[in-house]
Amino acid sequence: MQIVEILIIKNGTQSFGISTEDISQIFRVPSIMQLPIKPYEVRGLSAVGGNIANVLDLNLLLQMPQVDISDEKSRLLTLTNDKSTNALLVSEVYNTAQINKSKIEYINRVDDSIVAIYKHENFIIQILSLNSLFDKVKRVDIKSKIVNNGKIKADVVIQENSKRFLIFKMENEKFALELDYLREIILADINFTEILGSADEIVGLIALRDDLITVIDLRLYYKFNQKENDKNRILIVMIDNKTIGLLVDEILDIRDFINEDIDYMKDELEKNKIAGVLHDKESLISFLDDKVLKIILNENEAYVDSNDAVTHTQASDENFSEFILFELQGKEYSFEVDIVAEIIDFEKSTDVAYTNDCVSGIINIRGQIVPIVSLENILNIDKYFKDDSKIIVCNIDNTKVGFVVDNVSDILSIAKEEIISQDDNYLTDVLHLDNGKRLVLKMDIQKIIKEKSI
């Protein structure tokens, strides 16, 4: 290999050179998004030049202290050809230099990252082979993916100025419910006790732990056709110290909407009994809030019992935990619901270079890059994606991480006595539901992410 020109990199008292043939552009260090599971030498992902690039730290590749990105001298180098999906973080760019053949000494040692020594002015430059350096890091092929707006949105803005909604389906229309009023979600395939003389939309009573709850078919209430299948769910809702069940076709998503995308419509509340609409990309989603729930309660007040809100709240806080239940290859698993940010439809991820085997790739959610972690690889089971697979997006140590699952089945409040500990590294507990007839494994996702990070 004959080197014609090098870019000189300074790092304290040491100087390194990289062939300019490998360098595309030099940038000030932009925002770097952390990856939860990654090799030691990878700092994260960044949007540079309209593309998503893996950011590798030259210092870490050389087993030196990592580059201080707060230092004004630090720079990010984008690369050419087969390395174009990567960017190199360096401490300081000094200059370029044309190679004088009389001052360069090539080194022919197998697996050595230093391929030549060059004497420039009054110092010695160690010329590096990026191929050799990168080969030390586990590689997965990646295809370049364009970022629509060239920016990664700050998650904190959404968190501070947003509301969280559960999105569900009735016939072919989407509806949403403010999550503050949702107590849990249960399967609709249960026995109902009919209430004589009640309205057509009242399905009947169900026993949920120590409560008798009236269930209203929300589809009939809004004049939709009923579609009975295993996706039907009952939303257990509490408002004004009263608990009711709302039967819907299917649960689709849990998502935050910023205030600017929430449009309250008083006229619609009075005419059609919806609070307003959510602006979701190019579509609108009708949503229900406390005022709508109160209308439904008042119209069926004779069939709904009051609950002691203080007692219920204390019981929930002290004796119950909330879990989201999902299926994976025919078995049920669960996360604690507190870490769940949203649920979205499955979409194919883009592969990422230099990541742990547990990372399937990345997806772009409303301008934010989210890594997808493969639960199948962690649990050592076969992968199989269905058309109706979902991605559960979790907040873990202020980083969003997605997990592909076959489907989401329930959100349940589980009594502590129904949670049995077991001696397993990742599946730490078993939820004993329906008097032990239904066993659900609980995953310690935060522990998985921590231990799989390199």
Which of the four pLDDT bands, split at 50, 70 and 90, describes residue 221?
very high
Report whether 36 contacts 371 (CB < 8 A). Answer: yes
Whole-number pLDDT of residue 356:
72
Domain spanning 319-452, CATH architecture = Beta Barrel (2.40)
CA 231, CA 53: separation in Å to the nearest integer? 39
- For 277-291, the pLDDT digits (tens) are 999 877 899 999 999
Comparing CA positions, the residue from 449, 431, 447, 427 lying closest to residue 439 is: 431
Residues of each domain in the chain carrying CATH 2.40.50.180: 5-134, 155-307, 319-452
CA 327, CA 229: separation in Å to the nearest integer? 17
155-307: CATH class: mainly beta
Mean pLDDT of 328-344: 85
Percentage with pLDDT > 90 across the chain: 23
Comparing CA positions, the residue from 268, 345, 367, 183 lying closest to residue 278 is: 268
What separation, in Å, do the N-terminal and C-terminal C-alpha atoms of the chain show? 33
**In terms of CATH, what superfamily is 5-134?**
CheA-289, Domain 4 (2.40.50.180)
Mean pLDDT of 154-162: 47
- The top-scoring range by mean pLDDT among 274-278, 337-341, 359-363, 380-384 is 274-278
The answer, yes or no, to whether residue 140 has pLDDT greater than 90, is no
- For 75-104, the pLDDT digits (tens) are 999 998 888 888 999 999 999 999 998 889
Please name the amino acid found at residue 326: F
Strands (E), 209-358: 211-217, 233-239, 242-248, 250-258, 262-264, 276-280, 283-288, 320-328, 331-336, 340-345
Which of the four pLDDT bands, split at 50, 70 and 90, describes residue 155?
very low
- For 119-131, the pLDDT digits (tens) are 888 788 999 999 8
CA 401, CA 391: separation in Å to the nearest integer? 10
Whole-number pLDDT of residue 316:
46
Whole-number pLDDT of residue 209:
65
- For 237-249, the pLDDT digits (tens) are 988 888 899 999 9
Which of the four pLDDT bands, split at 50, 70 and 90, describes residue 69?
very high
Whole-number pLDDT of residue 339:
85
Q: Helix/strand/coil (H, E, C) string of 365-396?
A: ECCEEEEEECHHHHHCCCCCCCCCCEEEEEEE
- For 169-199, the pLDDT digits (tens) are 999 899 999 888 888 888 888 888 888 778 8
The answer, yes or no, to whether residue 153 has pLDDT greater than 70, is no
Report whether 218 contacts 200 (CB < 8 A). Answer: no
Whole-number pLDDT of residue 305:
62
Q: Which residue has the tokens 């066993």?
A: 439
Paired tokens of 37: 């599971």
129 CB neighbour count, 10 Å cutoff: 19
11 has which bridge partners? 14
Report whether 412 contacts 325 (CB < 8 A). Answer: yes
Measured in degrees and rounded to the nearest 5, phi and psi for residue 53 equal -125, 145
Average pLDDT, the chain: 82
CA gyration radius, the chain: 28
Whole-number pLDDT of residue 385:
66
CA 82, CA 114: separation in Å to the nearest integer? 20
Paired tokens of 111: 């697996």
CA 140, CA 110: separation in Å to the nearest integer? 23
Strands (E), 259-311: 262-264, 276-280, 283-288
Whole-number pLDDT of residue 141:
38
CA 198, CA 306: separation in Å to the nearest integer? 18
Comparing CA positions, the residue from 201, 215, 222, 237 lying closest to residue 271 is: 222
Please name the amino acid found at residue 183: R
